Amino acid sequence: MSRTIVCDGNEAAAWGVALSRPDMVAVYPITPQSSLAEYISQFVADGIINADLMDVEGEHSVLSVLHGACLAGARTFTASCGQGLAFMFEPYFRTPPLRLPIVMSIVTRDGITPQCVWGGQQDAMTVREVGWVHMYCETAQEIMDTVVMAYRIAEHREVMLPVNVNHDGNYLSYCVEKVEIPDQEEVDDFLGEKNTNWHVALDPDRPMGVDPLTGGAGGPGPALFVRYRKGQCKGMQTALRVITEVHEEWGKRFGRYYAPLVEEYRLDDAEYAIVTIGSMAGAGKDAVDLARESGEKVGLIKIKTFRPFPLKVLRQSLSKVKAIGVVDRSVSFGWNSGPVYQELLSTLYFLDERIPTVSFIGGLAGADITIEHFTRVIETTAVALRGKEFAEPIWLNEND
Amino acid sequence: MGKGYYTIACYPEKCDGCNDCVKACAEFHTGTQQPEHSRIKLTKVEESDAFVITLCHQCGEPRCVMNCPSGALSKDVNTGVVQWDEKRCVNCQLCTLACPYGGITYNSLSDQVMKCDLCAGDAACVKACPRGALELKVGADLFNSWGDLEDLFVPGISACLGCNSELLIRHTLRRVGSNTVVATPPGCIAGVGSVGVNGLTATKAPVFHPLLTNTAAMLAGAKRYYNRIGRDVTMLAFAGDGGAADVGFQSLSGAAERGEQMIYICVDNEGYMNTGVQRSSTTPYGAWTSTTPVGTALRGKTRDAKPLPLLMVMHHCEYVATASLAFMEDFYAKLDKAIEAAKKGMAYIHVFSPCPTGWRFHPSKLIEVARKAVETNMVPLWEYINDEGRVYLTYPVDNPVPVEDYLSLVGKYSHLDEEQIAHTRDTIDKQIKILKSFTGEGPEVVKSEEFAGVSAVKHVSAAASTQQGH
């Protein structure tokens, strides 16, 4: 029997972990992820999660023990963010090419310096090119559901890649909502057999040399290396299909349908659209509703899956509008814009005609992106639609 | 594979020339004590009190046997004794010329050659010696015990000539066996191809490259999962000093604190040899490396080595030991203890690993360097047993040879001046002092005059002092 509880986003993630029956969870606390680590620890203490709890000495070892366990055959989970993710980077960087289906929540946080412990997506965005699947959630329920789905995606035989389930620090981590917890047996049935190390293992019954030196000028090395890299890219591209299938199946089984890659909101007859990612979409949709009441033909595009980049689906959505305003919760220092914005420019190349764009950066360092902010975003994008160019990004909280 | 046999080991430094062995030998073989009948000879070294002991070595490939034209000499495959058959002997005495050791000699009284036959396994000379200068022993204990086990590393790996690491990994894995997950982080051992190159591997057991930084954590994760599913699999790390003492130290320290079950071997070649001989925190004071160069302004490393094995003791590892492969029996004994200890928690072995390439000495000198470091107390051999909370010196060197004897063997110390050598001497003294305070045997632990005549109190106080670790 499913049941309904009221909890925050971090607890919802912990329930998702519990439902997924991992063999090992590793924790090291960092704000705003800490309560997620605590929920998981308590769940293990209470027997809700029957897993080895690895309370290790830092994030670097958190992911490293999971590497060892996963190579031995374990289903694993952890969560981190910000500086923790930065410290974890060395094994983090290595997880996708080892093709380890580890699931990790990033409770997104802005980066230091300046010293900052509050939300923002700078951490997850900074590691977007490493090769993990990145999915961003909008609600506590979606967090729980996506954590479970993440295992199906990660452990899919043709994917075999680690998955980050990202939720906004502060806004989702501590936001309390109604969450329905499905029946364990139904989740077991949905997840099926664990599949963690059929391809690479540290097991005396199947001895192999894991990760030999590969490459070097001459000889078979570089070609072998290319094979690994292409395989990884293929796994990522396959993940687009698998993510979609898994979301559909989840909807059928549990009645909750989420747009797997890109969600369109009031887009079909829209002249222009705003693009969002993560929890800000709620305020964005409210602002769109308000603007619609005053006759603006505006819609919203929300990105759930940012890695692999959903080029085809996004191209389809973008082709419906004549201007876009993209709201980022982090900064691309190299491009003087938001990273989502910068990547959307690549997508626009595939459209038949060039359309005006505006980059907005908001919600840094724990700041809220309110309906008022989004109303400004909509108004500014409308100005762009009428022909004005915006060469510089607009910083939403600059004058708050 | 063959086997090692009993032979008589001689310790000439214990011999005072009393001739009891000679008499016993003659007595056993002829019923008289005439020294001419003795198969064992003592020769006084001129102008000294020392004696040379001469007798048959019972060689594996005996020259006497090969040179005998009449088949009178043969090696007994059951006892290992080189036997002489009186009936076949033609008394040509070629054997006495062939033997490089003077082990078979002409007896002028019997007009025949004679040689040691180990008195059918109960050597009379050994029993007669009052000073323990002779010992009947198997010279190949390790070979007999473990020689039949499979070498889990393939031949032809790309180690340098005289590589201590190759010697170490072959012996260790042979003993630990293939029901093992082997971690070889970046460094020489990975560099020689233990994990492999381009899809080929050198290890006949599950082996992997951890990161330089996370060896202990990765092994911990794998071990915990095997424990969870009820499989007994050994975790074994061969990490260099960089991977253990420097950038990998946090992971090692964390795993030790949590009591993760593994055998963690630090292969300490005192620097980053695989990347071109840079300094590490275990590089000793004064040593040349490519990042502690010797020039007009700098004279090698300016700091002492980090005492990693002692740090591991303070982590309360189940077992901690130092080792040098010049003392292979000592190493094997420690490996046995580590295998047992790793069933309960972390077993840490710090292997002193001289590197001919990086330290600048001839590959043929490897074992000599490894031995001399111990005999000078540069590298004390000891072990810590957590159940007892106590350190034991496994090869106490009470009268160390001068440290110059070691330093002069190794090119990386060739520039040391008198002041630097004095510093090294001081460091050795301090190191031994600290160690002895851990063993409870040091002179500082209990001042005997304070407890004069009260031996029971002395004993208890010594134990208490040990537990407090001074």
> What are the pLDDT digits (tens) for A330-359?
999 999 999 999 999 999 999 999 999 999
Whole domain around residue B168: which residue ranges? 149-439
For residue B458, name the pLDDT band (cuts at 50, 70, 90). Answer: very low
Task: Please state the φ and ψ torsions of residue A266, each to the nearest 5 degrees.
Answer: 50, 45
Cβ of A193 under 8 Å from any chain B Cβ? no
d(CA B349, CA B187): 17
Class of CATH domain A3-199+235-254? alpha beta
Query: In the predicted model, is pLDDT for residue A178 greater than 90?
Result: yes
Q: Which of B187, B140, B179 is nearest to B3 (CA)?
A: B140
**Looking at the structure, do residues B453 and B382 belong to the same domain, yes or no?**
no
Tell me, what's the pLDDT at B48? 87
State ipTM.
0.95
Task: Mark which of B114, B143, B172 sits at the end of a domain.
Answer: B143
Return the half-sphere exposure (C-beta side, CA atoms, 13 A cut-off) of residue A333: 3
Instruction: Give the gap in angstroms from C-alpha A189 to the nearest C-alpha of chain B.
Output: 22
- A49-64 residue pLDDT tens: 999 999 999 999 999 9
- CATH number for the domain spanning B32: value is 3.30.70.20
Determine the pLDDT at residue B141: 80
A388 residue type, one letter: K
Query: Cβ of B222 under 8 Å from any chain A Cβ?
Result: yes
Residue B463 pLDDT: 39
pLDDT at A263: 98
Q: What's the one-letter identity of residue B312?
A: M
DSSP per-residue letters across A233-289: HHHHHHHHHHHHHHHHHHHHHHS----SSEEEES-TT-SEEEEEEGGGHHHHHHHHH
CA distance A104 to chain B (A): 16
Q: Is residue B1 part of a domain?
A: no
Chain length of chain B: 470
- Asked if pLDDT for residue B165 goes beyond 90, the answer is yes
pLDDT tens-digit profile of B377-396? 999 999 999 999 999 999 99
Question: Is residue B411 within 8 angstroms of chain A, CB to CB?
Answer: no
- Which chain A residues contact residue B223 at CB under 8 A? 68
Instruction: Answer whether A3-199+235-254 and A262-395 agree in fold.
Output: yes
**pLDDT(B139) > 90:** no
In the predicted model, what is the mean pLDDT of chain B? 92
What's the pLDDT band for B1 if we cut at 50, 70, 90?
A: low
Looking at the fold, whether B132 and B169 belong to one and the same domain comes out as: no
Q: Which two tokens stand for residue B322?
A: 């130092």
Would you say B373 and B379 are in contact if contact means Cβ atoms under 8 Å apart?
yes
For strand B382-385 and strand B319-324, is the pairing parallel, antiparallel, or unpaired? antiparallel
Q: Please check whether residues B136 and B160 belong to one and the same domain.
A: no
pLDDT band at A1 (very low <50, low <70, confident <90, very high): confident
Give the separation between CA A111 and CA B178, rounded to whole angstroms. Answer: 46
Residue B432 sits at the vertex; the CA angle it makes with B428 and B438, to the nearest 5 degrees, is 150
Residues of A in contact with B214 (CB under 8 A): 60-61, 64, 67, 90-91
Mean pLDDT of chain A, nearest integer: 97
pLDDT above 90 covers a percentage of chain A that reads 98
Q: What pLDDT was estimated at residue B453? A: 44
- Give Cβ neighbours of residue B26 (< 8 Å, ≥ 6 apart): B32, B33, B34, B35, B36, B37, B38
Q: Beta partners for A394?
A: A360
Average pLDDT for B336-350 = 98
Of B210, B229, B250, the CB nearest to A57: B250
Q: State residue B89's pLDDT score.
A: 97
- What pLDDT, on a 0 to 100 scale, did the predictor assign at position B460? 38
Task: Give the pLDDT confidence score for residue A400 in this predicted structure.
Answer: 86
Q: Which residue has the tokens 């989702």?
A: A172
pLDDT class for B450, splitting at 50, 70, 90? Answer: very low
- How does residue B459 score in pLDDT terms, banded at 50, 70 and 90? very low
Q: Looking up tokens 């999962």, which residue turns up?
A: B225
Average pLDDT over residues A293-301: 98
What pLDDT is attached to residue B461?
39
Same domain for B246 and B124, yes or no, is no
Specify whether B206 is located in the same domain as B95.
Answer: no
Say yes or no: B185 and B292 in one domain.
yes
Average pLDDT of the residues in A317-333: 98
Helices (H) and strands (E) in chain B, counts: 17, 16
What is the Cβ-side half-sphere exposure of residue B23, based on CA atoms within 13 angstroms? Answer: 8
B25-67 pLDDT, tens digit per residue, is 999 999 999 999 999 999 999 988 899 999 999 998 999 999 9
Range A168-193 average pLDDT? 98
Q: How confident is the model at residue B140 (pLDDT cuts 50, 70, 90)?
A: confident
CA–CA distances in Å: residue B381 to residues B92, B133, B175, B432, B449: 51, 24, 20, 11, 30
pLDDT surpasses 90 at B145 = no
pLDDT at residue B456 above 70? no
Position A116 pLDDT exceeds 90: yes
- pLDDT of B417: 97
Please tell me the distance from the alpha carbon of residue A205 to that of residue B178, in angstroms, as a whole number. 10
Contact flag A52-B198 (C-beta cutoff 8 Å):
no
Closest partner residue to A211 among B208, B225, B226, by Cβ? Answer: B208
Domain ranges of chain A: 3-199+235-254, 262-395
Residues B7 and B138: their CA atoms lie apart, in Å, by 6
CB atoms near residue B389 (< 10 Å): 15
Contact A208 B201 (CB under 8 A): yes
pLDDT of residue B442: 54
Cβ neighbours of A203 in B, within 8 Å: 181, 206, 233
- Provide the pLDDT for residue B144: 85
The pLDDT assigned to A181 comes to: 98
pLDDT exceeds 50 at position B464: no
Confidence category of residue B445, pLDDT binned at 50, 70, 90: very low
The tokens for A331 are 């900064």
Is residue B347 a contact partner of residue B263, using CB atoms and an 8 Å limit? yes
**B107 occurs within a structural domain:** yes
The distance of B260 to chain A (nearest Cα, Å) reads 11
Q: What is the pLDDT of residue B4?
A: 84
Same domain as B255, residue B126? no
- Quote the pTM value: 0.89
Chain B residues whose beta carbon lies within 8 Å of the beta carbon of residue A90: 211, 213-214
- Indicate the residue among B143, B163, B190 that finishes a domain: B143
User: What's the CATH code of the domain at B426?
Assistant: 3.40.50.970
Radius of gyration, alpha carbons of chain B? 26
Q: Which of B341, B338, B233 is nearest to A71 (CA)?
A: B233
Question: What digits encode the pLDDT tens for the residues B271-318?
Answer: 999 999 999 999 999 999 999 999 999 999 999 999 999 999 999 999
Q: Which residues on B lie below 8 Å from A52 (Cβ)?
A: 224-225, 228
Transcribe A330-383 into DSSP letters.
S-BTTTTB-HHHHHHHHHHTTSSS---EEEEE--GGG----HHHHHHHHHHHHH
Q: Is pLDDT at B470 greater than 70 in this prediction?
A: no
CB within 8 Å: B198 and A212? yes
**Residue A53 sits at the chain B interface (C-beta within 8 Å):** no
Question: Quick one: fold of A262-395?
Answer: Rossmann fold (3.40.50)
Cross-chain Cβ contact A60/B213 below 8 Å: yes
Q: State whether the Cα torsion A21-A26-A30-A35 is positive or negative.
A: positive
Mean pLDDT across A264-293? 98
Query: Are B128 and B202 found together in one domain?
Result: no
Whether B386 and B470 share a structural domain: no
Which is it for strands B73-75 and B82-84: parallel, antiparallel or unpaired? antiparallel
- Mark which of B101, B122, B143 sits at the end of a domain: B143
241-260 of B, contacting A, C-beta below 8 A: 250-251, 253-255, 257-258
Which structure tokens are listed for A42? 């308590």
Which residues, numbered 163 to 182 in chain B, qualify as contacts with chain A under a Cβ-Cβ cut-off of 8 Å? 178-181
Phi, psi of A7 (to 5 degrees): -155, 170
d(CA B232, CA B18): 57
State yes or no: pLDDT of A323 exceeds 60.
yes
> What is the distance, to the nearest Å, from the Cα of residue B293 to the centroid of all Cα atoms in its chain?
31
**Number of structural domains found in chain B:** 3
Distances, alpha carbon A128 to alpha carbons A46, A134, A332, B376, B407, in Å: 35, 7, 12, 55, 53
* Residue labelled with tokens 């590691």: A127
Q: Could you tell me if B430 and B450 lie in one domain?
A: no
Residue B451 confidence (pLDDT): 44
B272 secondary structure, DSSP code: B
* Residues B136 and B186 both lie in one domain: no
Same domain? B470 vs B433:
no
Three-state DSSP class for B417? Answer: coil
